Amino acid sequence: MSDTPIRRVILDCDPGNGVPVTDIDDGLALGFLLEAEGIELELVTIVTGNTHRDTGYRVARTMLDDVGVDVPVCLGAATALLEPQDPWTDRRERARRDAKSAPFWQGVAPPRDYPLPEKADAAAEIAARVAAAPGKITIAAVGPLTNIAHALSLHPGLAEDVAEIIVMGGAFDVPGYFQELNFGVDPEAARQVIASGAPVTLVPLDVTIRTALRLRDVERLGTAGTKLASYLAKTTEPWVRHVERARGREGCALHDPLAAALLVDRGIARIERCTVDVELTGLTRARPLRWDADAVRLATGVDVPRHRPIDVVTDVDNDALVELLLRTLGA
């Protein structure tokens, strides 16, 4: 019997496995948490972001059923707190119409058409579980933070009761990116969570964009011989091929798997403690800012927030991350 302490986890996500020309990193994060030693994944909640909430729900249900795992899935927010959704919906649908990459998904079964739950109760379920077990529940939030913001409203003590919220989101300074998707889809929710006072670890695009899962890694995954590894290999390969064709980079970024992996091994990353806030206006809307509160030299006329500092990931060992991911998934 392992002496590894059990960490109870809620995964809040927007998965897209099996949907043509759609990122699959949520599915890799979900698979990792299902298999990782010391992790008890007790709930999956779905939010609109990488996919619409309804599609994400069906993706998660399909994946869990295909691999034979019984974890409850809750439907969450379909729209952001304030951010208009039409531009993000248009962006998402344009990507799906990439005729040059769509053939990569031939032979990949789409998510099944599960009936949707009558209630979108993800936020209520998150709030209730955290309130019932203070200090015991970790939230891995790898989609827009709408569900978590709603949960904070439903349970004002959530920031004190949650063990940790690990967030994949935000871009401090990434060339070509005014926004990162998770923060961009719901900037107000991102700011509420970051400024909540909860123990937060932020995994920004600045670091995740330097990670890569390559085709040779997917081939290793496909030889693991388990239903989970086979499902992930089959749904991941077309996304890697799309990224290599359309973006000219080798391998796809491991945005969400990095956040999940830090729940098991923080040693694969460099982490700094700093104060973070999220801009809500103008060209910098949805962009996080960070600073050391003890080292600010000039902020004349600026109302500098004084909320609790958080942990921010600033670097990662990609080889160690990939090896941890593949080893955990049995490759």
- Reported residue count of the chain is 331
Pairing of strands 73-75, 137-141: unpaired
Burial level of 99, CB count in 10 A (0-12/13-18/19+)? exposed
Structure tokens at 151: 């949960």
Instruction: Report helix, strand or coil for 78.
Output: coil
Q: For the whole prediction, is pTM greater than 0.85?
A: yes
For domain 7-328, give its CATH number from 3.40.710.10, 3.30.565.10, 3.90.245.10, 3.90.180.10.
3.90.245.10
Contacts of 221 (CB under 8 A, 6+ apart): 229, 232, 233, 236, 326, 329, 331
Residues 155/130, Cβ–Cβ less than 8 Å: yes
Distances (CA, A) of 302 to 184, 190, 220, 298, 305: 24, 21, 52, 9, 9
Pairing of strands 200-203, 310-316: parallel
* Nearest CA-CA partner of 313 in 203, 190, 174, 209: 203
Sheet holding 269-278, edge to edge: 73-75, 39-46, 7-13, 137-141, 164-168, 200-203, 310-316, 269-278, 288-291
Residue 24: predicted pLDDT: 98
The residues spanned by each domain of the chain are 7-328
Residue 234: predicted pLDDT: 98
Mean pLDDT of successive 10-residue segments in the chain (331 residues)?
Answer: 80 98 98 98 98 98 97 98 97 93 96 96 98 98 98 98 98 96 98 98 98 98 96 98 96 98 98 97 97 89 91 98 97 79
Task: Name 13's bridge partners.
Answer: 46
CA 61-64-67 angle, to 5 degrees, is: 145
